[in-house]
Amino acid sequence: MERVKRKHFSQSLTILGRVKEILPAHEGFPKGRFVVETRGGDFTVHCQQASWMASLRNLDDLDRTRERRSKQDADGNFEQPNLNNALFVGDMVAVQGTLHTHGGNEGDDEPDKERYDGLVIHLLHSSRDHLHFEHTRWWIDQLVVMANKWLDDLFGDKRTYQLDDFAALYRTNLNILGLPTDDDTQEMATLSRLIYGLASAFLVTGDERYFQAAKAGVQFQQQAFRSYSADGRFCLWYSAIKRQRYLNRRMLDAEAGDDAGGIPLYEQIYALAGLAMYFRITGDWEVLQDIRRTICAMLTLWGHWPEADGKPRFDGFFSHIDPVTFTPRDNSLNRGGMLGPRDNREAKNWNSIGDHIPAYLMNMVLALDPLPYEDGKGDAAERRRDLEELLGHCVLILGDTARLIREHFPRTHSPLVQERFDKDWKPVENWDWQQNRGVVGHNLKIAWNLTRVGNWYQARGGADNEQIAADCYARAKTLAEDMGVLGIDQIRSGVFDALERVPPDDGLPIQFGWWSTKDFWQQEQGILAYLILLGHDPENTDFRKQAQELSAFWNLFFLDRERAGVFFRVNDNGQPLIEGKYGNIGDHSKSGYHAFELGLLAHVYQMAYLPREDRQHTVFALHFRPDADSGLAALNVAPDALAPGVLRIRDVSINGVNRRISKTDHETLRVPLRPGDLGKKVVVRLEVTEEAFRQMALDEPSKPHLPGEAPGCRNEPSAPLEADEART
């Protein structure tokens, strides 16, 4: 390419990387200089008189600036920090500043002159030399602030919640302050996502406020949006309630642009997100039946069952059905778009295939496998048979959607997966805004969820399952590595939005579909993908670095500390974009789901997979409330589909009283329940197993900086029951 000289060019630039060298002060830069190594190259940061340093803050906005302890080198000497006693070589740091480029005179062969002036230096390490967001409470605290904000915005000072509170006050659309907008529509899928967030907050904190709110939200979803078929076999969910002056109108078909006029499977999938998480903590029988009927509806109405060898064979899900004929073939599903046809007839896409796994399926499989019900007689036997059928449906969808993703979505001529197909899996590359573009977050979401599926199959054992797991891991690793180069900003970090799958042949590796922006949900997929892949491959240091860099970008630039929220979209430098709908804290595309999911699972993955100085730093608690009418005989308490053998139960308490369980239950993450336990609060503390801790322990662990333990407050595990005691 022809070299273009630019004169007097300046631009704001954020960089994120690791301190490579600290240089002496230079004339004109009295606060010093240092070199930052980013994935895209080195930058010498010149600190001006006006430059300042800021320690990373969570959503609680607590100033975490504390004096760093010194690092000890290989010779036993303590290295002293430099640059205002704040930075060490090797520290991860983000800098916001200005890049100046001057190309000299026309025809001059001299190289461009360049200088990077750093204005804000963001310190990411705590006083204990750990990254702030890798401390054990960071993600829980973030999740709690968000949950409180949502409840305060919707319900004011109330601390107990009923069905009528949600009926009267729940709104999908809230402005940047959390206040209602002129559109007071109540959308079902965003309600379910908020329920997911509230149930997740209860799971990790045990706070009664979140449990009551989740329960009331579930009741409102059931009473306001649930619709059974005439024969009672199927459950469908209304898309929204349009609140008008003289009439509240329930709408079955969607209004959003991509889905307008049809019933998108996407919304039925996310109808189950909150219900499945609530079921995990309660075992609520009515919720379970709604989930079962919805899955039956999805398999029957949206499922594609072509015949093979004279028998129907499941071949994925169509993306839409018509709200009158309830078929995926109706011409009403073919509408024009801005850039091309928006033909949803017998169409398959990422959302109709891949979103089952994270939205509800993984939680249902974790809750039901093995079945947490007794194999009794009469009603108990019938219940167990029904649930065996439901678990079979869940396993079918889990296995086949993962297989279809591996078989059809990757393409040899682009590292970005194909996302839209016709009924026979022929790629569709002219669909409205998508055209031949790939969404980076979808690629990372596939990497994350194929790893979860691989972990689940590996835990089942057997040669066939091991092969499925290996296939899932291989595809997930390839996608994560490809997106680590093409889909993630190499200078600033952060996940880009949409890229052309086949960029112009001009030597440049990528081309943006529109802007070089970054959306909050795509950062979540990246963080979770690299964290869970680190658990599968602990020796892959780049996976950990990618997770750290994306976590840093999220915590620096996506958190709205002034209003205790999360920005939907930022530009490439991390500055929030709040024009139009992107200024809302809640709308059709944003609710209490992705940010809460990140808070929950980043907490779980970091506790399970990050090297720690002391094993007690790998202990965390989960909270359950088995419903009094649930009939549960046990709780499956695995927090996610983690690598086999990573976690075990440390101890269990029921209504505050310690409960000893068998060694087998400790290792299989299963808590047996007695009839009198139902309706009571169950607290389970999990810990990384000794073997897993040794594998991921720091090479040179230092003495932990911990407060002295008071008598009776030691962090000791409970002794498991002996085999004879367990049978008794």
**662 in Cβ contact with 720 (< 8 Å):** yes
Question: What are the boundaries of each domain within the chain?
Answer: 9-129, 134-609, 615-701+715-727
Q: Is the pLDDT of residue 153 over 80?
A: yes
Question: Mean pLDDT throughout 693-706?
Answer: 58
Q: What's residue 719's pLDDT?
A: 79
Question: Mean pLDDT throughout 15-27?
Answer: 89
Q: What's residue 701's pLDDT?
A: 42
Question: Mean pLDDT throughout 191-211?
Answer: 97
Q: Rounded to whole angstroms, how far apart are CA atoms 590 and 585? A: 7
Q: Rounded to whole angstroms, how far apart are CA atoms 17 and 637? A: 37
What are 439-466's pLDDT values in tens digits? 999 999 999 999 999 999 999 999 999 9
To the nearest whole percent, how much of the chain has pLDDT over 90? Answer: 76
Q: Is the pLDDT of residue 648 over 50?
A: yes
Residue found by looking up tokens 């197993």 in the block: 689
Paired tokens of 123:
């310190």
Q: Is the pLDDT of residue 703 over 50?
A: no
Q: Is the pLDDT of residue 438 over 70?
A: yes
Report the range of poorest mean pLDDT among 93-102, 260-269, 381-390, 489-498: 381-390
Q: Write out the H or E segment, with its range, that includes residue 620.
A: strand 619-624
What average pLDDT is seen over the chain? 91
Q: What's residue 337's pLDDT?
A: 79
What are 237-296's pLDDT values in tens digits? 999 999 888 888 999 999 877 898 899 999 999 999 999 999 999 999 999 999 999 999
Q: Is 96 helix (H, G, I), strand (E, B) or coil?
A: strand
Q: Rounded to whole angstroms, how far apart are CA atoms 423 and 480? A: 28
Q: Is the pLDDT of residue 379 over 80?
A: no
Q: What are phi and psi of 64, to 5 degrees?
A: -100, 20
Question: Mean pLDDT throughout 393-420?
Answer: 96
Paired tokens of 318:
């169509």
**270 in Cβ contact with 189 (< 8 Å):** yes
Q: Is the pLDDT of residue 558 over 90?
A: yes
What are 571-624's pLDDT values in tens digits? 999 999 998 888 888 888 788 789 999 999 999 999 999 998 888 899 999 999
What are 327-377's pLDDT values in tens digits? 999 999 998 878 889 999 999 999 999 999 999 999 999 999 999 988 776
**489 in Cβ contact with 470 (< 8 Å):** no
SS (H, E, C) 327-388: CCCCHHHEEECCCCEEECCCCEEHHHHHCHHHHHHHHHHHHHCCCCCCCCCCHHHHHHHHHH
If we measure between CA atoms, which residue out of 239, 295, 288, 294 comes closest to residue 263? Answer: 239
Give the global pTM.
0.94
- 507 versus 598: the higher-pLDDT residue is 598
**557 in Cβ contact with 519 (< 8 Å):** no
Listed in sequence order, the DSSP H helices in 206-264 are: 208-225
Q: Is the pLDDT of residue 628 over 70?
A: yes
Question: Mean pLDDT throughout 546-550?
Answer: 98
**The CA-based dihedral angle spanning residues 10, 13, 19, 21, taken in that order and rounded to the nearest 10 degrees:** 0
Q: What's residue 641's pLDDT?
A: 98
The one-letter amino acid code at 469 reads A
Contacts 24+ apart (CB under 8 A), 642-645: 642/455, 642/532, 642/535, 642/604, 642/605, 642/608, 643/455, 643/458, 643/535, 643/536, 644/455, 644/458, 644/459, 645/689, 645/691, 645/692
Q: What's residue 713's pLDDT?
A: 66
Q: What's residue 695's pLDDT?
A: 82
DSSP sequence for 382-413: HHHHHHHHHHHHHHHHHHHHHHHHHHHS-BTT
Please determine, looking at this structure, whether the domain spanning 134-609 carries the CATH number 1.50.10.10: yes
The one-letter amino acid code at 491 reads I
If we measure between CA atoms, which residue out of 120, 138, 111, 145 comes closest to residue 13? Answer: 120
What are 62-108's pLDDT values in tens digits? 988 887 755 566 666 655 555 667 888 999 999 999 999 998 766 66
- CATH class of the 9-129 domain in this structure: mainly beta
pLDDT level of residue 721 (50, 70, 90 thresholds): confident
Domain 9-129 identical in fold to domain 134-609: no
